[in-house]
Structure 1
């Protein structure tokens, strides 16, 4: 009959590795204690001392008559994750800390003597005690530096849980508190929005000074906002350019025609303008512009007329 029993098995989450306690009396002489092979047995004596039998060792029958109680101690490894809060240099903000550790009893008698009944709380409390004065020296934005300082300081000191007969392997991650993180995200979103607005304003200012030129520049502003219209813009610009060249060609034909001036004055100008138009049309799938055939001028075209005869010439 046990005075205390957690009814724990291999899958039970433990915070106290003492799974059973039984008081021993004179009628317990010779009784064999049944326990799991991976549990340690700690016997207390009337003098207040403890004797430990690590697994798989067990006391011989009859050897327990001088003991007053027996403690059955789990020797397994137990992982724990704990969330704690640590102060920064500003009382309005706290670091959030995730502590991950695995604890195991290394000295069963020392653990029983310590009177500990909650190992995760014990380990977390020791870490907090070492960490709080240290993290107070860091601003909330310096979580990475505070984390490294904490790891170095605690690992260089007395191992966590050692005073209670425990072996603890651990790590801790520091981060800014949730409120500070959300505040920073809002600031980042606002900065991003302002940057987009500034960029948009620069584009608008750039295109505005070209809008007065019309045509291609107007389409460039439109495409900055609607890139899906690229093909439409290209078609439109090509038609616009061809229409402009056609209009110029009509003016040239008029200028180079019979009514445009004297042939000997326009010959060089005609050849130069035809050459420039052909060069302008070169990117387009169009045959070079031929030199227009002008009609032959009448015999009197281009001759200076004689003045009328004077009185002496009419004689």
Structure 2
């Protein structure tokens, strides 16, 4: 008769490898109980000691009468996965550690004598105790460095589960917790937006500085190379600057293409920019301006052609 029986099968997920416990009467078992051949048997003596029989060894019936109880111990490998929270150098932020363990009983008598009944809890507790002092020395953004130090420190210490007769293979992967990752993403988005604003402000300052100094030529030539900036340049101007540009528009057109040329003689993108400037300068009219992706002008574009020689005219 069993005092304790987990009714464990080969696919049963165990937290305690002691699958059965039976008391032995004065006259032995009264018949040999069936046990799995790959399980160890650990016998307790009246003096409180434990005698293991590793598979496939079993005691003789007469020998079994010398014991008071028998523990049937599973010696298979058992995987465990878990996540634990580990502190950083700031108590407001924690690392998340993903733990993978594979444990196995190698000294069944030691395990039985230890009184342990929950192996995963024992091992994760030992691991957490070793890891917490290490991760406390690292900032939450230094998860990679903390993980390296953690692995080194735990491997240098006492092997996990050794004190209760186990052998354990383990690994730990460290990362920031989900809240901190999301917080960092928001900060990155804010920094990106700030950089864009600074870039736009630098552009505006560039146009305002050149136009304030009467540098319409430099302003127009820059827009000829970067027509996508036309809207930004016009919006950055004061009213008196727009009036000055209106008076100098003919000069701008000259810089952007052949003087006095027909619309079809200008390339499409430069003609489009002149139309945008005309719309922006029209009284009481502010039309949203497109920002096409435009190619660079070929070398020498926009220069007046030399008058044909007599020989060329003859041809």
TM-score bucket of the superposed structures, by smaller chain: 0.5 to 0.7
Maintained 8 Å contact 1:30/1:62: no
Give the aligned length: 245
Aligned match of 2:129: 129
The structure number with the bigger radius of gyration is 1
What 5-or-longer segments of structure 2 have no aligned partner? 232-252, 264-302
Aligned match of 2:177: 177
Shift in Å at residue 142 of structure 1?
2.3
What 5-or-longer segments of structure 1 have no aligned partner? 227-236, 248-275, 282-287, 292-315
- Which deviates further from its counterpart, 207-216 or 178-187? 207-216
Match of 2:260 among 210, 226, 244: 244
Aligned match of 1:118: 118
Aligned match of 1:6: 6
Rounded to whole Å, the distance in 2 between the matches of 1:125 and 1:225 is 65
Shift in Å at residue 105 of structure 1?
0.4
Shift in Å at residue 24 of structure 1?
1.3
Aligned match of 2:144: 144
Aligned ranges for residues 83-102 of structure 1 at < 5 Å? 83-102=83-102
Maintained 8 Å contact 1:84/1:98: yes
Shift in Å at residue 68 of structure 1?
1.0
Maintained 8 Å contact 1:207/1:221: no
Maintained 8 Å contact 1:73/1:108: yes
Aligned ranges for residues 1-315 of structure 1 at < 5 Å? 1-29=1-29, 31-203=31-203, 222-223=227-228, 241=257, 244-245=260-261, 278-279=305-306, 290=313
Rounded to whole Å, the distance in 2 between the matches of 1:224 and 1:16 is 72
Maintained 8 Å contact 1:31/1:62: no
Shift in Å at residue 222 of structure 1?
4.6
TM-score by length of 1: 0.68
Maintained 8 Å contact 1:277/1:289: no
Shift in Å at residue 17 of structure 1?
0.6
What SS does the corresponding residue of 1:36 show, helix, strand or coil? Answer: coil
Rounded to whole Å, the distance in 2 between the matches of 1:279 and 1:289 is 11
What SS does the corresponding residue of 2:260 show, helix, strand or coil? Answer: helix
Rounded to whole Å, the distance in 2 between the matches of 1:97 and 1:206 is 51
What SS does the corresponding residue of 1:97 show, helix, strand or coil? Answer: strand
Rounded to whole Å, the distance in 2 between the matches of 1:165 and 1:48 is 18
What SS does the corresponding residue of 1:34 show, helix, strand or coil? Answer: coil
